[in-house]
Structure 1
Amino acid sequence: MQTGPKNLLTDVPGLLVGNAACPRRRSGVTVVTSSDPFAAGVHVMGGAPGTRETDLLAPDKTVSEVHALVLAGGSAFGLAAAQGVAEALAARGKGFEVAGHRVPIVPAAILFDLANGGDTTGPLPYHRLGAEALAAAGTEFALGTAGAGAGATTATLKGGLGSASLMVGEATVAALVAVNALGSATVGDGPHFWAAPFEIGAEFGGLGQAADAPADWPRTKLDGATTIAVVATDARLDKSGCTRLAIAAHDGMARALVPSHTAMDGDLVFALSTGSGPETDPVRLAHGAALCLARAIARAVWLAASEPGDLLPAWRARFG
């Protein structure tokens, strides 16, 4: 198997990703957008989601394309980031024309990062962070402690923002994820990742698999969680096909985080298609999306950076 040239979501031609963060709050926002609107779907498997405009992504709803997708920290407060993105897009003349107005469609999902040691006093920054992330959108973007993953944690280590891509014939599929899981991305107390069987090269350390999985119950954290992701492709999919891709991609989350999809996670996957690529075998495409999401989750944790005041260690600080 072969990754795209950057091993990022932006290996899908036309996509742009931007990050913005508030270091004081240990929180941030990530925006996925494009010069042209794109088809999108969504699937939620966690029990505690926080979302905006996801109903519009159902295959039977009228709107067929969206202008951006937003992943944000801040719990419900972070949904304001989508409004910042929508207003900035409208100022650029982007959006559906309705009665003489431009109305951008900006679905969003949030994660809970209010108990990570950040300073949550003062004005909320998410409306501003949404606009800043959109302004920063490009083909290159930071991973690890960045964007929506700036304050993310798992049960045992810091979480973060991860991405990975894969070629499926002539098509590209890729994933972007903010890992803020109730469970763990690593096996027991060691450095090995649950996603190790799916690693390409040494994209998250090349450690291989752990010798044995622990026999006891997996560790979880006590406060809120949620892993939110985007999988993307240039293969030609409509909203129904994107919805099916989002459903399949959740397999990657279950392979990389133990446990996942719990009552206390709001685990969610958006899927999008730019439609600029070829018709592609839907089975291979769905499997590729799951592989990319598993790898992106491991990369998020592997690339997380240590910061003063961390409540949990970064993978690199603990295992070097």
Structure 2
Amino acid sequence: MPLTVGGKKIDLLVDSGAAHSVITGEDAISVSQLKVTDKSRCTVGATGHSAVEYFSEPMKCETEEGRIMMHSFLISENCPINLLGRDLMCALGLSLTSSPDGVVVTESSLSCPQLGQEEELHELLKLYPKLTEVPQTLWAKTKYDVGLIKNAEPVVITPKSSFRPRKAQYPLKPEALEGIKPVFHSLLKAGIIVPCNDSPVRTPQPDDWRFVQDLQAVNAAVVQRAPDVPNPYTILSQIPSNCKWFSVVDLANAFFSIPVHKDSQFWFAFKFGDRCFTFTRLCQGFCDAPTIFNQTLKNSLDSLVLSQNSAICCYVDDIILASTTQQQC
């Protein structure tokens, strides 16, 4: 969406998943009225690495329809594209509406969203008969369902030193516990979480101190691998220009498809109720999770042979298959 910011016209991607609107460092240089403040936010990108980034002073913003307002942007050297986040969406009254033609951005003081009946899987199969040829094991049965990448090497975590982070268990509200239980029991049933009766090191007094599930503390205590998550623009450039058909697979709970070595599982230990548990699979929030998953998925797909004029691209837990014909795709 085009927007004139501080006298400079720039394009922003409308992103309802972004809390703050973002201007890249490259575009920020061209906005003469932009001044950076001391107000900051800690941001985490797709690689899992955090960075402290700063806000601009409020600047005059004008839409193509002539609406004018003052707004402050987060200036980012890590984000590859300008983002129009929820803060500006609310201020401008923007909405994202889903329709058969795709997602449409609407700007209106009165929004009349199009309502439709949610389609079940069997209804989708009627609309797209080709989906019946897809093995049923591909589909996640529930939102907590997980898979396992064949021949994935169990993750071994290398500590920086003999230090092992520990943190006191903080209390949870009853409603929070009730909300966590369905997720917890699903993961427990799947073997993603297992009871952890014995601590690998002596825990300090009092007894309610434990190994942390605060992965920021864990991340600071381990040797991090070199980041290996490709730039999405680089990935998309691999798609042949004559491709017209695309299949997209969003892997459910993708990081949980990679096992953690038994000797490293204690890093993810936590307490729920009056018992200790730990994860047997790779956890989201662990600093190396995106890199490990990207490498493992890439290795798993290396033996795949595609037809001519076809390409497969992977970005973290999303896989896109592009081809020139529907049959090949």
Q: Which TM-score tier does this pair reach, normalised by the shorter chain?
A: under 0.3
Q: Which entry has the higher C-alpha Rg, 1 or 2? A: 2
TM-score (norm 2): 0.21
Higher relative contact order (CA 8 A, sep 6+): 1
TM-score (norm 1): 0.22
